[in-house]
Amino acid sequence: MNIITNPKKLRGIEGRIKVENVSRRSILKGLGIAGGLVLAAPVMSRQAFAAYQTGADKMPHGTVVDPRVFVAIASDGTVTIVAHRSEMGTGVRTSLPLIVAEEMEADWSRVKVAQAHGDEVKFGNQDTDGSRSTRHYLIPMREIGASARTMLEAAAAKRWGVPATEVKAVNHEVVHSATGRHLGFGELAADAAKESVPAVEGLKLKDPKDFRYLGKGQVSIVDLRDITVGTAHYGSDTRLPGMKYAVIARPPVTGGKLVSFDGTAAMKVSGVEKVMEVQGWPWPSKFQPLGGVAVIARNTGAAIKGRDALKIVWDDGANGKYESAAYRTELEAAARKPGLVVRKEGDVDAALKAADKVIVGEYYLPHLAHATMEPPVAVANVKDGKAEIWAPVQSPGGTREDVAKTLGIPEENVTVNVTLLGGGFGRKSKCDFALEAALLSKALGAPVKVQWTREDDVRHDFLHTVSAERIEAGLDKNGKVIAWRHRSVAPTIASTFAAGAAHAASFELGMGLVDMPFEIANIQCENPEAAAHTRIGWFRSVSNIPRAFAVQSMVGELAHATNRDQKDMLLELIGSPRIVKLDSVKDLWNYGEPYDSYPIDTARLRRVVEVVADKGGWGRTVPKGHGLGIAVHRSFVSYIATIVEVSVGDKGKLTVHQVDTAIDCGMFVNPERIQSQIEGAAIMGLSLAKYGEITFKDGKVQQGNFDDFAVVRIDEAPLVTNVHIVPADTDTPPSGAGEPGLPPFAPALANAIFAATGKRIRALPIGKQLET
C-alpha cells in the first residue's frame, strides 16, 4: 500500500531537471489552400456599436448574433444563456454569458449556463483558441443581451399599453416608473418570445457606468462548486451503458506504421475483451489518428495492463533518425546563414559593417509537451450511421467536421458534446483522440472511451516547435542600436498540414519576429528553412515563446554591453510613442485582427513597462545574490511586461521571490480571471524555463511522465505573484489574456539570473546550467 506521508518521495527524480493562436481551420488560408474559409452570413451586421473592428467575422462560420439561439427565459424567471466556447480554465464559460446577462439586465444568481454542442452554423465560430473569445465576442454578446432586453421591454410595454420608451429593464424585471408597475422576466417570457428580434442598428447598449458585472471581478466561475465537490464533468467522466474502455499503442515514431502484433498475452489479462488494429493516416495528415493497436477492456486499468502485454513490430519510417542534439546543431547552423527575408527596413548589412560594436546573441528553445492535467480522452457512440461524441475539445465545430469526414457520414449526423477541459493550452484544438474513439466505436458497435495515458500524451503530442534564434545588434559610438538582424529557424506548424512545409507560416512570423516593435533604423528579419520530423502544433502563445525570449534577452545583453539599466535600455529601444509601420512585411499577420483597430502602439507598450516598473518596484535594493529582470512583449494584441526577482543559491538552486506583471488587454470583462491567467502563466513560464524539454532519439520521444518531463510544483513556485491590470476605457478594444502572460516570463527570469549571477542563460531549459 502506498501511503503518502512524504509526497516528495513520489516526485520522481529529484533535481532533474493558445489558446492557441490560429484557428485550426483558418490556418488553411495562411497555407494558401483554397476554400478553407466558410463565412456564414451573420444575422446582423456588427458595425452599429463598436468603435473598433475585429477579425471575428473572418473566422470559419463567423459570428451569430441572435438572442433566440443564445438566451432562453423560463416562466419561473430562470434565464439560460448558452456558452458556445470551451472551458479549459480561462473562465470563458462564465465570462461570455456574463456579458449577455449584464446587457439584458438579468440577475446573475438566476442565470444558468448551458454548454453548446458543436454547431457553428447555429452558434458561429467555436474554436476556443488564440486568446480571442472575449475580443471577438464582447460586442456580439452585448448585442445579444441588448436584443433580449429590448424584446422583454417591448412585451411589457404592450401588456401595459404604454410606449416602449417609458419602460426599462432593471435587475430581472421590467419597470414602468411612472406608475410603479413591474413585471418579472419570467412573467414576460412567453410574450417576449413572440416579439421580433430588433435590428441591431436600433439597439441601445448600456452605458458602461451602469455595469453591474463587467469589469468588476465579483463573479466566481459557474463551475466552482462542482469542481470542489467532484461533480464537474470532464471528458473522462462520461459513462454510457455498455461502454467499453480502450487504450491504444501508437507508432513510437511520427510517420511510423504497424507491421504486426501479437495480442495473445494481452487477451489473457483479466478484464481484457478484445485486441484490434486502429486505422492510421500517413504523416502529415492534420489531426487524423496515428493508428496502432487498441486494447478493449471492461475498465481502463485492465486495458492498460493488456497493452503492456502486447507484442508489436513497428516500421519507424523516415523519421526514425530524428535526434535532438544533431537537430539542434542543424538549426543553429541554419541561423548563421542568410535565410528568407521576411522584414526589411534600411540596410542591415551596411549598418552592421559600420557599427562600432556588434553584439550577437544565439538562443535555443526546445520542443515542449502540453501535458494538460487531463490527458486526451474521448467517448464515442457510433450507431446506425450516426455518431455522438463526448470530449474535451477546444474545437467543437472542427471536431464535428473531422468526425464526419473520418466516418464518411454527413455532419448533421454527428453530435459533439463539449465537456469541461482539464487544461487545453492548444493540445485539445486537435481532435485526434475523438477520431480514435469514433473509429473504435464504429468497429465495435458499442460506446467506447479512449483514454490516453500520460506517456501517450507526452510521446504523441503535437509538440511546441524547437527553435534557434539568432540576433545581431549593431551599436554606434554612443551605444545607440542602429542595426538589428533576427534570424528565426524552427519547424513550422504548417508541416502538420502539408508535407514538406519548411518556412514559418505568416501567423508564426507575426508572433514576435516581424512585429518586433523597436525603433531602429536598420531592421532585417529572416526565416531560414527547417524540416519537421514530428507533429508540430500550437502550444500556449506559440512562436512568441522563442521570439520573446531571444528579443528580450538581447535587450538585457545590450544593457549590459552599454552599462545601462535594463528598463532604460528597453524604453530606449521601444522608442517614441507611435503606431509601428510594417510596410515591408508581406501578409502581416496581426492575430487575425485588422491593424487599424489593433495596431502596434508603442505608447501602450511603454506604459506597461512603466506601470510594472512602478508597481513592481524596479530598481529597489535587493539582498545580495538576488537579481531583478524585466521583459515586455506584445502578443495576442495585448501588452504585457513582467519583472522577476530571483536568487541563485548553492548548487544552482533557483528561488523566485517575486513576480510582477502589468497587462493592458483593453476593455476587460472579468479582471479576477485575468489575474488568475497571469498568475498561472508565471508558473508555466517557470516550468518551461527550468525544466521544459522534449528530446528525440531514434525518432522517439525520450520523456514520458512528470518524472522526466518535470513541471513546477508548489514548493518552487514564486513566493509572491502580483498582477497589475492597466485600466482601459470601454473604447479600447478587448484583447487576449489567456496566452500573452507566458512569453515575457522566461526572458525576465533570464535577465534576473544575469543580474544575480552574471551568468547569461541562452538556451532553455536552465536545467543544470546554474550548478557550476
Partner 1 sequence: MIKMKINGQERSWDGDPDLPLLWFLRDEIGLTGTKFGCGQAFCGSCTVIVDKQAVRACITSVSDVVDREVTTIEGLHPTGDHAVQKAWREVNVPQCGYCQAGQIMQAAALLMENSKPTHDQIREAMSGNICRCGCYQRIENAVHLASTGV
Positions 671 through 700 that interact with partner 1 (CB under 8 A) = 672, 676-677, 679-684
Q: Does 421 bind partner 1 (CB under 8 A)?
A: yes
The size of the interface with partner 1 (CB under 8 A), counted in residues, is 77
* Cβ-contact 553, 750 below 8 angstroms: yes
Q: Report helix angle 92-104 to 133-160, nearest 10.
A: 30
Cβ nearer to partner 1, comparing 320 with 424: 424
* Cβ-contact 658, 672 below 8 angstroms: no
Paired residues of 670 in beta bridges: none
Q: Least CB distance from residue 96 to partner 1, whole Å?
A: 16
Q: Least CB distance from residue 488 to partner 1, whole Å?
A: 27
Stretch that binds partner 1, among 228-236, 335-343, 573-581, 694-702 (CB under 8 A): 228-236
Pairing of β 292-297 and β 272-278:
antiparallel
The one among 36, 186, 346, 423 contacting partner 1 by CB under 8 A? 423
The one among 18, 136, 142, 305 contacting partner 1 by CB under 8 A? 305
CA-to-CA distance for 58 and 64, rounded, in angstroms?
A: 12
Per-residue buried b or exposed e for 460-481, using 16+ beta carbons within 10 Å of the residue's own CB: bbbbbbbbbbbbbbbbeeeeeb
Query: In the range 621-680, which residues lie near partner 1 by CB under 8 A?
Result: 672, 676-677, 679-680
Cβ nearer to partner 1, comparing 454 with 564: 454
* Cβ-contact 195, 154 below 8 angstroms: yes
Query: In the range 237-256, which residues lie near partner 1 by CB under 8 A?
Result: 237, 239, 245
* Cβ-contact 62, 532 below 8 angstroms: no
Q: Least CB distance from residue 563 to partner 1, whole Å?
A: 36
Binding track over 18-57 against partner 1, x by CB under 8 A:
----------------------------------------
Place of cell 494558401: 32
610-to-114, 549, 571, 617, 663 alpha-carbon distances in Å: 42, 20, 9, 10, 11
CA-to-CA distance for 250 and 680, rounded, in angstroms?
A: 32
Cβ nearer to partner 1, comparing 134 with 566: 134
Q: Does 90 bind partner 1 (CB under 8 A)?
A: yes
Q: Does 170 bind partner 1 (CB under 8 A)?
A: no
The one among 372, 441, 495, 695 contacting partner 1 by CB under 8 A? 372
CA-to-CA distance for 555 and 689, rounded, in angstroms?
A: 18
Q: Least CB distance from residue 28 to partner 1, whole Å?
A: 29
DSSP state, residue 556: H
Residue 344, CB half-sphere, CA atoms under 13 Å: how many? Answer: 11
Stretch that binds partner 1, among 21-29, 252-260, 446-454, 481-489 (CB under 8 A): 446-454
Q: Does 224 bind partner 1 (CB under 8 A)?
A: yes
The one among 213, 234, 390, 636 contacting partner 1 by CB under 8 A? 234
Asked whether the bond before 284 is cis by omega within 30 degrees of 0, the reply is yes
Cβ nearer to partner 1, comparing 107 with 716: 716
Q: Does 225 bind partner 1 (CB under 8 A)?
A: yes
The one among 73, 221, 511, 663 contacting partner 1 by CB under 8 A? 221
Distance, first Cα to last Cα, the chain: 40
Closest to 206 measured CA to CA, from 136, 108, 139: 139
Q: Least CB distance from residue 126 to partner 1, whole Å?
A: 18
Q: Least CB distance from residue 269 to partner 1, whole Å?
A: 8
Cβ nearer to partner 1, comparing 401 with 456: 456
Q: Does 89 bind partner 1 (CB under 8 A)?
A: yes
Cβ nearer to partner 1, comparing 413 with 676: 676
CA-to-CA distance for 295 and 530, rounded, in angstroms?
A: 37
The one among 105, 374, 461, 739 contacting partner 1 by CB under 8 A? 374
Stretch that binds partner 1, among 309-317, 468-476, 695-703, 706-714 (CB under 8 A): 706-714
Cβ nearer to partner 1, comparing 228 with 621: 228
Q: Does 525 bind partner 1 (CB under 8 A)?
A: no
Phi-psi region of 313 (alpha: psi -120 to 50; beta: other; left: phi over 0): beta
Q: Least CB distance from residue 238 to partner 1, whole Å?
A: 9
Positive or negative, the Cα torsion across 393, 395, 400, 401?
negative
CA-to-CA distance for 735 and 751, rounded, in angstroms?
A: 27
Q: Does 88 bind partner 1 (CB under 8 A)?
A: yes
Query: Where does 662-737 have alpha helices with state H?
Result: 671-690
Q: Least CB distance from residue 164 to partner 1, whole Å?
A: 39
Write out the DSSP string of 64-128: ---HHHHEEE-TTS-EEEEE-S--SSSSHHHHHHHHHHHHHT--GGGEEEEE--S-HHHHB----
Cβ nearer to partner 1, comparing 144 with 678: 678
Q: Least CB distance from residue 742 to partner 1, whole Å?
A: 10
The one among 134, 300, 429, 602 contacting partner 1 by CB under 8 A? 300
Q: Least CB distance from residue 254 to partner 1, whole Å?
A: 23
Cβ nearer to partner 1, comparing 267 with 502: 267
Cβ nearer to partner 1, comparing 219 with 569: 219
Closest to 210 measured CA to CA, from 74, 69, 284, 104: 104
Binding track over 710-739 against partner 1, x by CB under 8 A:
-xxxxx-xx-xx------------------
Neighbours of 337 (CB within 10 A): 11
Residue type, 586: K
Q: Least CB distance from residue 712 to partner 1, whole Å?
A: 8
Query: In the range 452-481, which residues lie near partner 1 by CB under 8 A?
Result: 453-455
User: Sheet harboring 71-73: ordered strands across?
Assistant: 71-73, 79-83, 111-115
Give the phi and the psi of residue 712 in degrees, each rounded to 5: -70, 140
Give the phi and the psi of residue 245 in degrees, each rounded to 5: -110, 130
Cβ nearer to partner 1, comparing 260 with 299: 299
Q: Least CB distance from residue 747 to partner 1, whole Å?
A: 18
Q: Does 4 bind partner 1 (CB under 8 A)?
A: yes
Q: Least CB distance from residue 245 to partner 1, whole Å?
A: 6
Cβ nearer to partner 1, comparing 230 with 242: 230
Neighbours of 500 (CB within 10 A): 9
Stretch that binds partner 1, among 88-96, 439-447, 498-506, 633-641 (CB under 8 A): 88-96
